[in-house]
Structure 1
């Protein structure tokens, strides 16, 4: 039986996981993909092998799996019975690494304490990301864990891109532009080098369009600018998040409307974005299927803002050679890609309708000055690679 690495992405009521077998030459092969959902309400565990065959589909009464530790126990029990032994390491997606962490790190209690400081910067994600890490530290302290950060890929930004126009003391305190979805952008950067090496050397915008959405400017495969900043609220409108806002709106809500800080936080993370604009849904599939004019407004706004930020990112790179769509919407919604491309004709992005409908690798016409591509992302594989690398470095240093 091959040794394995477990990749965990924990939410408030779910744990998504993937298991990778380590083959010769440190190659990684995905062997399981699963999730435990409905924690505390209707808990169920489902996992599939690479052929798509279900290997477990089990439910429990709510009191039996009423929190993340209990859910993680179910996942570990399943892995023990199905694989025969525990993984040699666990890789975790952690959204915010703050100013301290610019690369994956082996987890300790001290590291967790530092990462807890960034909970206010990512209140939807950070507490959930850290919960299973803390459980494993308590119950399986010998099992090596590696935290992989969504902010790390952007840490090489030039200072002029990293700063806000605030006094120095705030920058020193960590108030700066971090950028997110870095694990996705890092994976896409690597895939570009494999699939389109000449383009990878140039100026590329990657649009990670999912429930959370952002864009990144890559020059020679390195991040130089991103639409997200200090928190995951900035930039593009998202499923339930507003994207770029005038900071005066926050002051107005707090001062004039007497809305509490907690209420503002809930509004911005849960009730804005596509959901807020449409009044219907945060799911692009629902909005594309709806005849309601508010659904059309939300989608038009989404495409409009993507186009606006394309101009900003192209300016940061002083040009544009390729535009990559990725993540759930970017990979699976030809109508959204077409709406964006129609607004980028002035840049020389000429869409091939046929290729776009088929979600081909290249969706632009042969004579398009800007090459359009669709590249599926794989953040879990990126985490598994980082985890294996950290384990090897640790073993070499021992």
Structure 2
């Protein structure tokens, strides 16, 4: 299993090497202790083929080039927690925003992922802390020609996104406090693409019954949430500036449709629950 995870390092270069380091460290400290892995892509296995396949011929797809999606542990936890928070069944068509240093959106229909913004790797999709998000492949090829493959990898994964636009700031709090034109443009870019990509996912679900935010930015950046929700005001999503006193996790006025919610990220708990389920099933 470790070897298979290592082969996936190109998909998640900012994450998998650290996960492998933890696996190796624990193996050295407790070699007889069983280890379990929870995969961030598993939640998106329900996406239809038209959503997961790139328009590539079979020989290219055979290299593993397809949309896998990420933040699946976060979205699985959201589907579990939102009914508890809202005291209502899970909405049939949920537009889910996981916004943090890494950011994505997922279209969740009847509890299953049907589309998401991240693709073959976590690099695709939204403007992120240091990742570029969606980029014309020919632009990537031009960068490789000009600065080489390794520098292009570093640029797109570590030096782009909010940091690239603002002159080095990738933390949303720092950007909001900076007050510079570059910082403001980075914020505008983040919100614009969250709104634009979010609307594309409405088509994958055939509508929207609720919107939910999670992740460091999604949970804590009130102004960012408000700006994104303004982009969906045409749906009837009316932001409550004072928050719902009966349920502080509710962001919209009673009677609004769709309703909008804050759901605390529980990826670690989801991993623990997955592990417990595996242990329970073991003979």
Corresponding position: 1:233 with 2:123: yes
Helix, strand or coil at the partner of 1:148: coil
Instruction: Say if 1:204 and 1:322, in contact at 8 Å, map to a contact too.
Output: yes
Instruction: Say if 2:129 and 2:163, in contact at 8 Å, map to a contact too.
Output: yes
In the TM superposition, residue 188 of structure 1 has moved relative to its aligned partner by 0.3
User: Which protein has the larger Cα radius of gyration, Structure 1 or Structure 2?
Assistant: 1
Q: Which has the higher strand share?
A: 1
In the TM superposition, residue 392 of structure 1 has moved relative to its aligned partner by 1.7
Helix, strand or coil at the partner of 1:373: strand
Corresponding position: 1:119 with 2:9: yes
Find the aligned partners of 1:251 and 1:357 in 2 and give their Cα distance: 52
Helix, strand or coil at the partner of 2:26: helix
In the TM superposition, residue 341 of structure 1 has moved relative to its aligned partner by 1.3
Correspondences of 1:326-337 after superposition (within 5 Å)? 326-337=214-225
The runs of at least 4 consecutive aligned structure 1 residues that moved more than 3 Å come to 195-199, 356-359
CA RMSD, 1 decimal: 1.8
TM-score in terms of structure 1 length: 0.68
Corresponding position: 1:281 with 2:169: yes
Q: Which residue of 2 aligns with 1:373?
A: 261
Find the aligned partners of 1:304 and 1:356 in 2 and give their Cα distance: 26
Report Cα offsets for 1:201-220 as digits up to 9, x if no partner: 41001100001111111111
Specify every segment of 5 or more residues in structure 2 that has no aligned partner in the other structure, as ranges: none
Q: Which residue of 1 aligns with 2:185?
A: 297
**Equivalent residue pairs, number:** 283
Helix, strand or coil at the partner of 2:50: helix
TM-score in terms of structure 2 length: 0.95
Q: Which has the higher helix share?
A: 2
In the TM superposition, residue 144 of structure 1 has moved relative to its aligned partner by 1.2
Q: Which residue of 2 aligns with 1:169?
A: 59
Correspondences of 1:1-398 after superposition (within 5 Å)? 111-196=1-86, 198=88, 200-255=90-145, 257=146, 259-355=147-243, 360-394=248-282, 396=283
Q: Which has the higher contact order (CA 8 A, sep 6+)?
A: 2
Instruction: Say if 1:362 and 1:373, in contact at 8 Å, map to a contact too.
Output: yes
Instruction: Say if 2:244 and 2:253, in contact at 8 Å, map to a contact too.
Output: no
Specify every segment of 5 or more residues in structure 1 that has no aligned partner in the other structure, as ranges: 1-110
